[in-house]
Amino acid sequence: MQGAILGVGLSTSVSLILLVLLIIVATLVTVVIKNKQNISSSVSPTSPSSSSPNSGGGSKKTQMFASNIVLYAFLNSTATDANATTLKGQIQRLKSKRPGVKVLISIGGGAAGSWSNNLNPTAIKNFINSCGADGFNEDFEANTCWNSGSDCGTKHLSILKRLRAVMPVGKYIASSAMWLNGVATGNAQASLQSGLLDYVMVMSYDTKLVTINYEGAMKEYAKYIDSTKLFVGVEAPVEGWGSHRTTIEECKSVARLAKKLDLAGVFIWHFTKADSSPTAPEMSAAIIA
Ligand SMILES: *[C@@H]1O[C@H](CO)[C@@H](O)[C@H](O)[C@H]1NC(C)=O
Ligand SMILES: *[C@@H]1O[C@H](CO)[C@@H](O)[C@H](O)[C@H]1NC(C)=O
């Protein structure tokens, strides 16, 4: 597990304060999200361990702490490829620096293929409890998920139900990273309408398109789930697929879109990318400003 995704919360009600002071504002945004979702943290911060929440320098940490939600990626679907004890120290340190930050463990990922038949919900729950995270992010990206008329949507919902059976709504936070064309293909609707998701991270990157229609995609998603549960995604360059390259101007424009559509915020994939220009911390700063 190495990458981290950041969810940066934006709220029109605190947008003026956003310009004043980063850390205080971030705390306020966290409170706004918490009130809306009525989520209680299952973990109280303890003394920081010696491990760092990320491998980067000071500014990277500052920006990381400004986010409301941090996703660690990836844990595999049997929870057997990472060490919860090691991660626990990182999460404790993150939470001691940023009380109120929510930590989710991202299951699956783009390289994991289809894992709906190889899922161990109890092992995942035990891992999450052991490392002190607040919940999970379902990242199911079987190669049929971008196609219409596939069984991806059925599989996605089935995974979500099985995870929610052991990690119930209100006790654990659940999000899902979903495909840019998820509504157009029909693969996203069932899970969006299930009532089982606190947040949806729309992966509006890694497409063959040079220009990404963020607004069109987010409006499609908002037809099936409350807009305040939706995060619009940007990827730190270079993207894994296609030639689109996120700029700082584009980050600002996506942040304005998040406010205009009353979304939960913007998320960045991913924080620990070394080859990126702009870097994820630079993108994060532009989004918060
Ligand atoms: C998870 O990772 C472990 C250790 O690498 C491996 O043995 C197992 O097959 C993986 N499970 C899945 C579902 O990928
Ligand atoms: C996890 O890491 C800790 C030390 O960080 C070690 O003591 C423990 O044996 C590891 N667990 C597994 C299952 O490898």
CATH number of the domain to which 273 belongs: 3.20.20.80
Answer yes or no: is pLDDT of 31 > 90.
Answer: no
CA distance 179 to 34: 26
CA distance 71 to 74: 9
CA of 78 to the centre of ligand 1 (A): 7
CA distance 99 to 31: 11
Q: Is pTM beyond 0.85 here?
A: no
Q: Is the CB of 143 under 6 A from ligand 2?
A: no
Lowest mean pLDDT among 15-24, 46-55, 131-140, 168-177: 15-24
Q: In this structure, what are the phi and psi dihedrals at residue 168, rounded to the nearest 5 degrees? A: -65, 155
Q: Angle at CA 136, nearest 5°, toward 248 and 208?
A: 40
Percent of the chain as helix, strand, coil, to the nearest 5? 40, 20, 45
Range of the domain at 278: 4-49+73-288
Residue 58 in domain: no
Residue 64 in domain: no
pLDDT on residue 39: 26
Candidate from 83, 86, 91 with most ligand 2 atoms within 8 A of CB, to mutate: 83
Residue 31 in domain: yes
Beta pairing, strands 230-235 & 265-269: parallel
Answer yes or no: is pLDDT of 126 > 60.
Answer: yes
For residue 224, what are the contacts with CB-CB under 8 A and spacing of at least 6?
Answer: 183, 188, 189, 192, 193
How many domains would you assign to the chain?
A: 1
Q: What is the mean pLDDT of residues 259-281?
A: 88
In this predicted model, what pLDDT tens digit does every residue of 50-101 receive, in sequence order? 222 333 334 455 455 567 888 998 999 999 999 999 899 989 988 998 888 8
Residue 56 in domain: no
Judged by its nearest atom, the ligand closest to the C-alpha of residue 1 is 1
Give the chain's mean pLDDT.
80
Q: What is the mean pLDDT of residues 14-31?
A: 25
Answer yes or no: is pLDDT of 15 > 80.
Answer: no
C-alpha distance across the termini of the chain, in Å: 30
Candidate from 2, 80, 106 with most ligand 1 atoms within 8 A of CB, to mutate: 80
Residue 222 in domain: yes
Residue 248 in domain: yes
Q: Under the phi-then-psi rule, with left for phi > 0, alpha for psi from -120 to 50, and beta for the rest, what region is 111?
A: alpha
Judged by its nearest atom, the ligand closest to the C-alpha of residue 83 is 2
Q: What percent of the chain has pLDDT over 70?
A: 77
